[in-house]
Amino acid sequence: MGGRDLNHIGVIGGGAWGTALAASAVRAGRRVTLWALEAEVVQAVNESHENPLYLPGVALDSALRATGDMAEAAAADAILLVCPAQHMRAVSAQVVDAGADAPLVICAKGIEQKTLQLMSDVLGDTAPGMDMAILSGPTFAAELAKNLPTAVTLAARDDGLARSLIDALGHNRFRPYQSHDVIGAQIGGAVKNVLAIASGIVAGARLGDNAAAALITRGLAEIMRLGAALGARRETLMGLSGLGDLVLTCGSIQSRNMSLGKALGEGRTLAEVMGERRSIAEGVYTASGVAALAARHDIDMPICAAMDRVLNHGAAVGDEIEGLLSRPFKVETV
């Protein structure tokens, strides 16, 4: 695909991240149509220029149009898929069925539980032959929505597609960096959500800053091992969509995954915390997929495995902490 003008951007998903990306694309000078499942989100964006359900307190440009009609949003020059990872298969199929004939940009982070597929593989099933890219990096939706500086990785195998998307979406407060590594751009974003829950547990259990730094460092080693097995480039995993995203998500209670882990570390149950939330902590669902991939490829990922046992198999947080701290001493290698 050669370079082309992408003037109309469709954003599929009216949550915090989808709304923030839509607001950013308006700032870049694009015409933007935001599709939202909830009728109250569509009404609020169009009439009061806000999304109080997912981004309270953030004013949106009146040029941003929201719709509940998938075909309207799919009739765009490029389409950002900003749905939860476990819904990517169904949502992308709906987009294709609605007549989409434009590049699809994956903005979800995760591994499909049932198939252990990355989101690019899911789109390979639901949108075969369509142009595809990955947008991932260290991003809190509220900060981008408020026009604070943000940098991301924009990965596509086609140079022309990547450049066209960067020209369409980039501006001085939203800086996409080009990559060819579609696999690597997805692995960091998926695994860091699992590690962020572990980081939150460290904070909630008051294990200290030393433990927090150790967890991030050893967590990065786990990301690197999985990346090597799946064909990712090391430089990608050390970049914005890898190390950058890991540091952000493990270092701030703004992170939905870290805040969930903090509640677990303080002694609350997963059911209690999940029952209070409208937004999704992707790491809960990705943990089982990461653990299964590690087992399939015979990769040692002890932190992710511990999180899978806590989140999906009823293991006690205290027992898993002691188990990790009791592992044999070893040489520090990735």
Catalytic positions are 192
| Closest C-alpha to 70, from 12, 30, 126 | 12
Report the distance separating Cα 61 and Cα 39, nearest Å: 19
66 in Cβ contact with 45 (< 8 Å) = yes
- DSSP-assigned letter for residue 106: E
- DSSP-assigned letter for residue 68: S
Angle between helices 282-296 and 182-204 (to 10 degrees): 120
Q: Strands across the sheet with 104-106, in order?
A: 65-67, 31-35, 8-12, 78-81, 104-106, 132-136, 150-155, 174-179
- Letter string b/e over residues 174-203, b meaning 16 or more CB atoms within 10 A of that residue's CB: bbbbebebbbbbbbbbbbbbbbbbbbbbbb
Sort strands 132-136 and 150-155 into parallel, antiparallel or unpaired: antiparallel
Token readout for 160 is 């022309």
For 115, half-sphere exposure in the C-beta direction (CA atoms, 13 angstrom radius) is 16
Degrees, nearest 5: CA angle 152-238-331: 155
227 in Cβ contact with 184 (< 8 Å) = yes
Sequence-distant (≥ 6) Cβ neighbours of residue 40 within 8 angstroms: 53
